[in-house]
Amino acid sequence: TKEVITIGHNMVITTGKRTYSVQEIMNILNISRTKAYGLCRSGTFKTVKVGRIIRISKPSFDQWLDETN
């Protein structure tokens, strides 16, 4: 899947997703919703809040996951 993002007058085409949902990190880590939201609040990886929705930066999360024992 290709995603097209327009920033000002520049168009950037990326492949794949740039963020995970809280539900996705729950599934990846096999953890509870409470634990997932706790990780998001802890600053362990980059998150962005859009209204009431939290999205987790995929590169930041993936790097954290790769570096975790």
Q: What is the pTM of this model?
A: 0.73
pLDDT on residue 23: 96
Spatial distance between the Cα atoms of 4 and 54, rounded to a whole number of angstroms? 21
pLDDT in tens, 6-58: 556 665 555 678 899 999 999 999 999 999 999 999 999 999 999 999 999 99
